[in-house]
Structure 1
Amino acid sequence: MNENYKIMSKFIKDLSGETPDVETYLYVKDFISKYQLHIEINSKPLKTQFVEINTNLKFHDNTESKKKSHFEMTYTSVIKLNKEIKDKNILQKIILCDVQKEVYPEIEKALLNLLHTSGYPNIKFEKKVDFEELYNKKFN
C-alpha cells in the first residue's frame, strides 16, 4: 500500500474487439503494425476519500483505411485516499501516475489477451508506457 492511497478494487469495466468480416481480418493481419495505442485517464469522486479512476485504452488504425478492426478497454480502479490528501497536484499525480504504474501491467496483459484471442497472436507492445515521464511532461 502506498501511504497516500490504497487500491480498494480494480476490474475490467468494458472490453471490445471488433473485426467486421474476414476480408477486414486478413487486411488488418497484414497491417496491424500500423495500429497505435491511445491511453486516456479520467476520474470522478465517489463518497468521501474514494475516487473512481477509468483508464481507457484504444488500439486502432489512425489512417483513412476502410478496413479496420477496433479494440478498446476501460479498466476501473477504485482508490481510497489518505485523509491528509487535500492538494490538487498530489491528487493528480496519484490518479495519472502512481495508480497507473501499479495497475498498468494487468491492463496491458488483458488488452494483449484480447488481441491474441482475436486472431493476432504475435502482437506485443514493444514500448513500455512511462507514466512518470508522461506526467512530468504534462505538468512540469
Structure 2
Amino acid sequence: MTKEKFEILGNYIKDLSSETPDIETFLYVRDRISKYQLDIDISSKAIKNKMIEINTKFKFEEKEKVKKKSYFEIIYSTIVKINEQVKDKKELEKIILCDVQTEIYPKLEEALLNVLKVSGYPNIKFEKKVNFEELYSQRMN
C-alpha cells in the first residue's frame, strides 16, 4: 500500500440506518437475512488544500421484491490529504476507489456488523472480504 501518496486525517460515521418496521418483518427477515446482499457506493468531493472527503456507503438489503424487508445502511466519511506529487487523475482515482477503501474497510465492516448484531441479527458474517483492488481492476477493464 502506498501510504505516502495520501494521509487519512480522520474518519467517522456520517449516517447510519437500521430499519425493521414491525415484529412480523423482523421474524421474516431473521430467517432470510442470508439472502441479503452488500452494495457499495463511493463518492468523493474536493475540499481544499489537496484534501478530499470520501463517502463510502454500504447498503445491506434484500434484492428480491418482497413485502417484508429490513434495510441497513452506513455512510462512512473519510477525510484525506493527497500528497503534492500526485498529479495524475488515474492515480488519484485509484487512491479514492482502492487504496483508502482497503485501509478503512475493516473498521467499516465491523461497524456495519455491529449495527446488524444490535438490530437483532447476531449471527451475520460477510462471506468474503471486499477486494477493492479487484473491483478497481474490473472497473478499469
TM-score by length of 2: 0.97
Root-mean-square deviation (CA), in Å? 0.8
Look up the SS of the partner of 1:111 in the other structure. Answer: helix
Q: How does 1:39-118 map to 2 (within 5 A)?
A: 39-118=40-119
Q: List structure 1 runs of 4+ shifted beyond 4 angstroms.
A: none
Q: Deviations over 1:30-60 (max 9, x none)?
A: 1111100000001000012000000000000
Shift of 1:21: 0.2
Paired amino acid for 1:38: D
1:30 is matched with which residue?
Answer: 31
Counterpart-to-counterpart distance in 1, 2:129 and 2:6 = 24
Counterpart-to-counterpart distance in 1, 2:42 and 2:120 = 27
Counterpart-to-counterpart distance in 1, 2:72 and 2:46 = 27
Counterpart-to-counterpart distance in 1, 2:49 and 2:21 = 44
Look up the SS of the partner of 2:110 in the other structure. Answer: helix
Paired amino acid for 2:57: N
Paired amino acid for 2:61: H
Shift of 1:126: 1.1
Q: How does 1:116-135 map to 2 (within 5 A)?
A: 116-135=117-136
Q: How does 1:8-23 map to 2 (within 5 A)?
A: 8-23=9-24
Paired amino acid for 1:114: V
Look up the SS of the partner of 2:3 in the other structure. Answer: coil
The size of the alignment, in residue pairs, is: 140
> Where do 5+ consecutive residues of structure 1 fail to align?
none
Q: Deviations over 1:86-112 (max 9, x none)?
A: 100000000000000000000000000
> Where do 5+ consecutive residues of structure 2 fail to align?
none
Counterpart-to-counterpart distance in 1, 2:3 and 2:124 = 33
Counterpart-to-counterpart distance in 2, 1:79 and 1:57 = 19
Q: Percent identity?
A: 59
